[in-house]
Structure 1
Amino acid sequence: MWRFPAEAGSNGGGAFVLFYIFCVLLIGLPVLLSETLIGRHGQSSPTLSARKLAVESGASPYWEAVVGIGVVAAFLIVSFYCVVGGWVLYYVWQFLSDLFGSGVTGGAFHGVEIDTIRAFFPDLLANPGLSVGLNLLFLAITGFFVVRGVSGGIEVMAVWLMPLFFVLLVAITIYGAFGGAFGQAMDFLFTFEPEKLTGEVMLAAVGQAFFSLSLGVAGMVTYGSYVGREVNLAGTSTIIAAADTSVALIAGVCIFPIVFAAGLAVDGGPGLMFQTIPVAFQSIPGGTVVGLLFFLMVTVAALTSSVALLEVPTAWAMEKFKASRRTCALGVIVAAGLLGTLAALSFNTMADFHPLGFIPLFEGQGMFDVLDGVTSKLFMPIGAILVCILVGWVADARLVDSENGLDGALHVFWRFLVRWACPVVLAAILFVGLTS
């Protein structure tokens, strides 16, 4: 909801979108199946699942460090991700306030200057108390579901909140189709212009496919450990990838008609969600209600992601320390809250603090950008490359074959992708990330 439209807008639309779909199929799906395979085979925490697969294949138990990288990455990501979740809550409050203040018929923030609406976001970033408070509030909501466990919290959220998310997404998309510049948006998203498919765009598409499926952060290994033996992992992984990609595409179809109808630029990058979109709602009928529903929808989407991320270090801690879910979850939440506080303050009172400034790659970056960069440019691609090596080269082929749910030509093709194509492409992403 946040990153895909921003990336599509910044990278020329159709060329990026179509190559992104290609990358999901040939890069994302094979790695996704590999991660769920490790988890289902081990039926334990991410690191112990990797250890079990390696030991039963006659390899070193230290291969558990492969997934350990992902556990660390998940913890670091959820620490700064809840800062972004707090931003979403802020806009929910802004639209609620506007609803009670000006009614439902006109555009959002009726009578408010565009520059004032655009200033909401930088003003939020500059306010340390508000930024930290919203971050901790979103983290607390996330922790509520994780503390309740898989069946009592995570499954309840999936059963109730995910359908609500889809209803809101489809409703706003239909609204945009009739009330926005739908044809212009469709042309932008799905017209393939070969000259726009540059090396930079291709790498951006691969990175987005990888990021969107949450690969390299041990999340799918964790959830794979909860999957029963009767489930076909290949079919389940395909459903996950298809659903994820469908939501990304619908998000584009939802957002861009409204942006085009308002005559705004689509290449706003990460600011598209928090500056361009609120301005767009100003000019459309019922913009206050639609804007409120839109950011409620984004809140649900962000919450499901943060819960998935927080579950990873919680599951690891439970296995490592033999403690209760409640104790481990609360410990992770406190640690993530402290780190997230530093990330939130990096936009204001700690803007001059550059924790890794001595490294050229992170020179001049605050805590938020460092956490983002370390995870996306280092941990995620390295973790995924090592997962491919573990499953494709180290693990006993018989163990892998008994878990993956593939046979015939599909199995041969999957093994080729995991052993050769995926590591090469991921290594290219790692190289570009380190040199850009």
Structure 2
Amino acid sequence: MVVTTGSDGITPRDGWSSRSAFIFAAVGSAVGLGNLWRFPAEAGANGGGAFVLFYILCVVLIGLPILLSETLIGRHGQASAPESVRRMAYESKKSKHWGGLASLGVLGAFMVLSFYCVVGGWVLYYIGVFAQDLFTSGLVGGAFEGRPPGDIEALLPGLFGNGMLMAGLNFVFLAITLYFVSRGVSSGIEFVATWLMPAFFALFLAITVYGAFTGAFSEALSYLFTFHPEKLTGSVMLAAVGQAFFSLSLGVAGMITYGAYVGRDLNLAGTSLIIGAADTAVALLAGLCIFPIVFAAGLEANGGPGLMFQTLPIAFQQMPAGSFVGLLFFIMVGFAALTSSVGLLEAPTAWTKEKFNLSRVTASSLVAFGALVLGTMAALSFNDLADFHPLDFIPIFAGQGMFDVLDGLTAKFFMPIGAILTSIFVGWVADQRLIDGENGLSGGLHKFWRFLVRWLCPAVLTVILVVGIFPSITGAGSGG
């Protein structure tokens, strides 16, 4: 239990029971579909090794400084993300309107949650598909025996065409997320993180080892880590920066919120390094888990978003015990997706609870209901609402349905703007004595971190913001 002092005296605040609990929860929030789905797809679409090596560099120079900045704001403020920023601004004798930067992040987290649970529903669907296949075909053979690859590839479009099923799966995934968040930090969020993250890593390593012995592991290793300088183009670098930023779930107030539950005895710099290293390791292992299976089946690595949901199921067809391995794989993905969705729901729940003096159950239920409304519209944008384009009047959103609009708004606007404002606030606005008392750094490392937060992070993130809004400037697109 973390204790914080409020205007009415000292009141108890639910918090992490230990350092390891915070690390598991923070890693669980960061490690999600961005690592398992987006990273291999991005690596495959952007030439492998050049993308991967530049991605690692971006995690160190961009991701970790912002991650530490967000957690130290939360730990100092000991409140919801907007209130934590306001408290630091007040103590720094600056305008409390700086709390708006975290309010933007809270709104971003709410919007990401609304479409993230739709994708979580896809994962539940594939868990069911592989479980059914395992039950009917047995443990020994490959997945979907006797079915042509075209039928397997058609599973995802078939799901997209069923609006009722899509909306129902979104509801189930969101309901599971709500259950854990409504139980509180130590009894709910910490519980799901400390149980599911070890299970996730065990399954992850088991499938990676399986792929190493049954797939084209050396080919995948070469693909991911052989550096070809000619492939390091501007679009590849932008994609790597964007992936490093998005994979750590920065700019959506989640790490500020989680930081508020951290005790004063924890070194935030060292903990942020562990979180960043774990997140990066999962992304790299995702490539070593997926690509050996894909290459061994003679399939292409540049399948984009369809790599996980279309290419991989075809690859499982050609593997021994493919149904069983496929089932374990999607259960593993489901664990990662759930720990991330819990973090996304917690940020707006903490704000709603504090702002309107509501119980946790009421606050989380209200937020979840709002996310359900948006999420249902996002799910139906693949079918029944396919002709509904809410932001058709904005060129970069022309012709896009609700799912793509929510994704684009958060990725191109809310997340980079939130991270830019965070780096400016920590680097230039907040009293540096407050910052120095929280960040756990000293000497040359502290000076280097301050340089990154003040200069490099806002500059690079501004480039991401501009290119996201005006992709024709470089021809790089959105990096997705």
Scaled by the length of structure 1, the TM-score of the pair is 1.00
Of all paired residues, the percent bearing the same amino acid is: 68
SS of residue matched to 1:2: helix
Aligned to 2:61: 26
State how far apart, in whole Å, the 2-side matches of 1:414 and 1:138 are. Answer: 38
Give CA deviations for 1:265-311 in whole Å, capped at 9, x if unaligned. Answer: 11111110100010000011110100000000000010011001000
1:333, distance to aligned residue in structure 2 (A): 0.8
Match of 1:121 among 134, 156, 181: 156
Aligned to 2:125: 90
Moved over 3 A (4+): none
1:159, distance to aligned residue in structure 2 (A): 1.4
State how far apart, in whole Å, the 2-side matches of 1:209 and 1:319 are. Answer: 31
Aligned to 1:216: 251
1:226, distance to aligned residue in structure 2 (A): 0.5
2:55 counterpart letter in structure 1: Y
Aligned to 1:158: 193
State how far apart, in whole Å, the 1-side matches of 2:214 and 2:459 are. Answer: 44
Q: Does 1:262 align with 2:297?
A: yes
5 Å-filtered alignment, 1:362-373, equals: 362-373=397-408
Aligned to 2:432: 397
Aligned to 1:181: 216
1:361, distance to aligned residue in structure 2 (A): 1.0
5 Å-filtered alignment, 1:338-353, equals: 338-353=373-388
State how far apart, in whole Å, the 1-side matches of 2:238 and 2:192 are. Answer: 34
5 Å-filtered alignment, 1:17-416, equals: 17-416=52-451
1:362 counterpart letter in structure 2: F
Give CA deviations for 1:141-194 in whole Å, capped at 9, x if unaligned. Answer: 111110111111111111111110000000000000000000000000000111
State how far apart, in whole Å, the 1-side matches of 2:139 and 2:299 are. Answer: 23
1:217, distance to aligned residue in structure 2 (A): 0.2
Give CA deviations for 1:13-49 in whole Å, capped at 9, x if unaligned. Answer: 1000010000000000000000001100100010000
State how far apart, in whole Å, the 1-side matches of 2:166 and 2:130 are. Answer: 18
Higher helix share: 1
Aligned to 1:429: 464
1:198, distance to aligned residue in structure 2 (A): 0.5
Question: CA RMSD, aligned part only?
Answer: 0.5
Instruction: Specify every segment of 5 or more residues in structure 1 that has no aligned partner in the other structure, as ranges.
Output: none
1:104, distance to aligned residue in structure 2 (A): 1.2
Give CA deviations for 1:368-416 in whole Å, capped at 9, x if unaligned. Answer: 0000000000000000000011100000111110110001001100110
State how far apart, in whole Å, the 2-side matches of 1:63 and 1:191 are. Answer: 44
State how far apart, in whole Å, the 2-side matches of 1:155 and 1:382 are. Answer: 29
Scaled by the length of structure 2, the TM-score of the pair is 0.90
Deviates more, 1:151-160 or 1:206-215: 151-160
SS of residue matched to 1:170: helix
State how far apart, in whole Å, the 2-side matches of 1:293 and 1:347 are. Answer: 27
Give CA deviations for 1:345-369 in whole Å, capped at 9, x if unaligned. Answer: 0000100100000000100000000
State how far apart, in whole Å, the 2-side matches of 1:316 and 1:7 are. Answer: 33
Aligned to 2:455: 420
